[in-house]
Amino acid sequence: MQINLITGISGSGKSVALRAFEDAGYDCVDNLPVSLLESLITTLVAEKSERVAVAIDARRGQSIAELPLILENLRRTHEVRILFLNADTNTLVQRFSETRRRHPLSANKKQSQSATLIEAIDKERNLLEPLRFQAHSIDTSNLPAHALRSWIQDLLKDKPLGLTVVFESFGFKKGVPSEADLVFDARCLPNPHYDKILRPLTGKDKAVQEFLEIIPEVISMESDITKFIEKWLPHYIADGRSYLTVAVGCTGGQHRSVYLVNRLREHFQAQKELSALQINFLDRHRELDSIPVKAS
């Protein structure tokens, strides 16, 4: 059975993620107690279910500490993947304030509401930290719900086995993605933003691509990043990873980083020997994907 565990910090989008799995045809269970996970899998196997997504959070406190061992046991006979959703504390406080919901780990203490909420968030981070290190993490701080759904849909399209390499563009002015394993800084490259014609365009547009592809520094950086990844990719595979996120940033995440991410994905996707190793390549554009899609 393919078991997808959805976990992470409360308010980071686990419900959105679970609905994306449900829409893709997975059997889905929300807020499952850790102690019931193995019995649930046994029942689903008996019912010949092939794919399940289970959302588990830290609302039951220390019982979450038992989860890594349970997952280790399940991996002996099943394929197990973990999706960890995260967000910065300021974003989480704002989301809880907007929804007026109570954090699952909030306690009745004689403190202000905001102080109690921040304390609960910090406690949850500590409880879930062991899971974060073995999971594919997505930082939803600057990500609207529609973009998160789209990213998860892309993940569900990849092959169930092997390594998935995610190339992600971002803007430094909104911070480095917390899920990034490797980060490259493209802010030193000539910026199309200062060309009035190119400014409203993105790295996906032909005019911007033609501007960047003839600049020696851009060519050199693309080559250096490519060689670095080619050198170290076998070591990440040997480490047993399921996902590797390579983030490329520029100032606004609109031109240079988008161009480089697309070039990197195209280069590696064309390597037949990597495809034979069941390595899958995806691209994401944090700032561009965050722009709401206008109805036609």
* Residue boundaries of the structural domains of the chain: 2-157, 164-289
Mean pLDDT to the nearest integer, 11-19: 92
49: tokens are 């279910």
Q: What is the mean pLDDT of the chain?
A: 88
Mean pLDDT to the nearest integer, 97-117: 67
What whole-number percentage of the chain has pLDDT above 90?
Answer: 58
- Predicted TM-score (pTM) of the model is 0.70
Look at the chain and count its residues.
296
pLDDT for the residue numbered 110: 47
Reported as type and span, the H/E element at residue 117 is: helix 113-132
Checking if the pLDDT of 112 tops 60, the result is no
Confidence of residue 102 (pLDDT cuts 50, 70, 90): confident
**2-157 has which fold?**
Rossmann fold (3.40.50)
Checking if the pLDDT of 108 tops 70, the result is no
143-201, pLDDT tens digit by residue? 888 899 989 988 887 554 578 899 999 999 999 998 899 999 999 999 999 999 999 99
Least confident of 53-57, 62-66, 160-164: 160-164
Least confident of 25-39, 98-112, 184-198, 262-276: 98-112
Checking if the pLDDT of 113 tops 60, the result is no
118-157, pLDDT tens digit by residue? 888 898 898 898 888 888 899 999 888 889 998 998 888 7
| Cα distance from N-terminal residue to C-terminal residue, the chain | 40
250 compared with 33, residue with greater pLDDT: 250
Reported as type and span, the H/E element at residue 4 is: strand 2-8
Closest residue by Cα to residue 150 from 13, 268, 32, 252: 13
* Tokens 């064309």, residue located: 270
Alpha-carbon distance of 174 to 231, in angstroms, equals 30
205-227, pLDDT tens digit by residue? 999 999 999 999 999 999 999 99
pLDDT for the residue numbered 188: 97
Confidence of residue 273 (pLDDT cuts 50, 70, 90): confident
Dihedral sign of CA atoms 137, 66, 30, 120 in order:
negative
